[in-house]
A = this chain, B = another copy of it.
Amino acid sequence: MATIYDVSLRAGVSLATVSRVINKNNNVSDKTRQKVLEAMAELDYRPNTIAQSLASNVSNSVGVLVSQLDGPYYGPMMAEIEAALRAQNKHVIIAVGHSDAAVEQDSVEFLLSRGCDALILDVEAVSDDYLVKLSQRSVPIVLINRYIQAMEPCCIYLNNELGGYLATRHMVDLGHRSIAYISGPKNKHDAMERLVGHQRALAEGGLVFDPALYIEGDYKEEGGEAGMLALLQTGKSFSAVVCANDQMASGAIAVCLQRGLVIPRDLSVIGYDNVPFAKYISPKLTTVNNPIHEMGKMAALWVLRHVYADDQTLVNNVFEPELVVRGSAIRAVN
């Protein structure tokens, strides 16, 4: 593989000049630039990005840490991040944290050891404190799906409280008076925020939060199944159930179907996230839109702007959820 040196020989210029044309430095006359370009073409020269990184102390790589890669949630986010970064010739190194604090920290170190210029993190298990300290190291950090006051400008997150509120509010508006809730794991921030919103909507509607109609789930289909089963077994009646994400909603619906319950006739169900398959389960799932892909894109733009000084227009840091009305929730009969 040809090096910058070979090119300089062939073009009859110095190393520095070749470097200048590679880096689009303007201080090169058109004629020399041409000579160099030709030499490069003839030698099929490709810059060695590793050498560039070592010499310039910029790796052009950004690390992305997510909780999981399977599941419907992170794919769209990763896709946007890759696209935005790739368009500016940056590459993304992925790591998975599995929602485990030790693994998350290890992943961060791993990414750092790879010389990433910035880190985009979607972590849930690690403490605020750890992240604040991390942000004080030299590598820029962007947090997706998490708000930490001390890191405000680099947090990109959804107003989850509002989302939880919107979901339950929708049920209240439809006349439901007895509303069950299948939550995400209580150790996850967003799950707790959604719950708070749920309770606010309840209170606003003059309803009391009934612990017997509250189930802690796991954000997975299995948790939705187990949650619905548990709810059914309480013997308490309820006409609506709000699930803290679509996966649990789909699990809950599956259980209802098995039991001969017709959705939404016998029970109204609403999910959260608006994952791609939400509109392909039947009935089409009423849910709350979580613009996860936009948040991914925003994180990438943030990095381009702040780390690579690539003049990108940033829209915002905090995103608003929106109700998506489809067919799984209807007006209560009474």
- Interface residue ranges, A against B (CB under 8 Å): 46-51, 53-54, 59, 61, 68-72, 74-76, 78-79, 82-83, 86, 89, 91-96, 110, 112-115, 221, 247, 250-251, 253-254, 257, 276-277, 279-282, 284, 293
Q: Considering the complex of A and B, which 4 residue pairs feature the smallest CB-CB distances, nearest first?
A: A69-B79, A70-B75, A250-B280, A70-B76
Is B282 in contact with A280, judged by CB distance below 8 angstroms?
no
State which of B70, B115, B282 has its C-beta within 8 Å of the C-beta of A276. Answer: B70
* Further pairs besides A61-B93, A69-B82, A75-B75: 7, Cβ < 8 Å: A50-B59, A69-B75, A70-B276, A79-B96, A86-B95, A89-B110, A91-B110
Is A254 in contact with B282, judged by CB distance below 8 angstroms?
yes
State which of B54, B68, B95, B282 has its C-beta within 8 Å of the C-beta of A282. Answer: B282
Is A75 in contact with B86, judged by CB distance below 8 angstroms?
no
| CB-CB under 8 A for A280 and B257, given A61-B93, A91-B110 | no
Is A50 in contact with B96, judged by CB distance below 8 angstroms?
no
Contacts of A69 in B (CB 8 A): 75-76, 78-79, 82
Q: Please give me the residue from chain B that is nearest to A103 by CB atom.
A: B86
Is A92 in contact with B91, judged by CB distance below 8 angstroms?
no
Is A50 in contact with B53, judged by CB distance below 8 angstroms?
yes
Contacts of A280 in B (CB 8 A): 221, 247, 250-251, 253-254, 277, 281
Contacts of A221 in B (CB 8 A): 279-280
Is B113 in contact with A47, judged by CB distance below 8 angstroms?
yes
A113 nearest CB across to chain B (Å)? 6
Q: Please give me the residue from chain B that is nearest to A111 by CB atom.
A: B91
Q: Please give me the residue from chain B that is nearest to A63 by CB atom.
A: B91
A254–B327 CA distance with the chains assembled, in angstroms = 12
Is A93 in contact with B93, judged by CB distance below 8 angstroms?
yes
